Amino acid sequence: MPKILNFSIVGLEDYTISFENYCSICEIQKFCKWGKDDPFSIKISCSDLNRAKEKVKFEQLQRLQKTEDVSVSYEELIKKVKINLQNIFSEIWKAKIKAHKEEIRCLDSRKRDSMLVTQQGQDWWQDFNTTMKVINTECEKIL
């Protein structure tokens, strides 16, 4: 479990991931929009996560139906579908975190040295990825 990144359940299937501790250790935090009073956080819904997985499954099924023999049953096709959670987590990362790089100076290479931004981004991504795996496991229990 990540040491810095925190998440909490809000409601039955909604999670909030807080980056509060990241912003407090950032040396240029005084320039960040986010801080102790207003920590950067995102909401993740199990239904959104499940919808993303279903979309990937549907797209793969469509491709398989075009390439596989007509005699192959639906159950056999489903067994061939592989959902790459990393890609789904990456899309969430791009949409909910990387899209805010203007507000998060630690992830903006125009405001900071690109080497430092790359390292910071990798650290954030690793913790985010680990946290998303935990949230995904919890969401699967709800289904």
Condensed to tens digits (0 to 9), the pLDDT of residues 93-141 reads: 888 887 776 666 666 666 667 777 677 778 888 989 999 999 999 998 8
Q: Is residue 136 part of a domain?
A: yes
- Asked if the model's pLDDT at residue 46 lies above 60, the reply is yes
Token pair listed for 6? 């925190």
Q: Is residue 91 part of a domain?
A: yes
Q: Is residue 57 part of a domain?
A: no
- Asked if the model's pLDDT at residue 31 lies above 70, the reply is no
Picking from 43, 44, 45, 28, the residue whose alpha carbon sits closest to that of residue 103 is 28
Angle at 25 between CA 21 and CA 26, to 5 degrees: 115
Return the pLDDT at 137: 92
Domain count, the chain: 1
Q: Is residue 77 part of a domain?
A: no
Q: Is residue 101 part of a domain?
A: yes
pLDDT tens digit string along 61-84?
Answer: 888 888 888 888 888 888 888 889
Token pair listed for 74? 């639906």
Q: Is residue 63 part of a domain?
A: no
Q: Domain residues for 18? A: 6-51+82-142
Q: Is residue 32 part of a domain?
A: yes
Q: Is residue 69 part of a domain?
A: no
Return the pLDDT at 135: 92
Picking from 132, 109, 142, 122, the residue whose alpha carbon sits closest to that of residue 28 is 109
Picking from 142, 98, 132, the residue whose alpha carbon sits closest to that of residue 1 is 132
Record the pTM: 0.77
- Asked if the model's pLDDT at residue 36 lies above 80, the reply is no
Determine the 3-state secondary structure of 110 from DSSP: coil
